[in-house]
Amino acid sequence: MLSKEQLISNLEKAIGNTAYGKEIIAEAQETYGDELKKYGFSLKDRLDVRLGVLKAYEKIHKDFGDAAKATAEADKIAIIEKALKAIE
pLDDT of residue 33: 85
* Cβ pair 61, 25 in contact under 8 A: no
| CA gyration radius, the chain | 14
3-62 pLDDT, tens per residue?
Answer: 899 999 999 999 999 999 999 999 999 989 888 887 778 899 999 999 999 999 999 999
Position 85 pLDDT exceeds 90: yes
Q: What residue numbers bound the domain in which 13 lies?
A: 4-86
Q: Which SS3 state, helix, strand or coil, does residue 3 take?
A: coil
* Cβ pair 33, 23 in contact under 8 A: no
The CA distances from residue 16 to 19, 22, 73, 78, in Å, are 8, 6, 18, 13
Tally of domains in the chain: 1
pLDDT of residue 1: 73
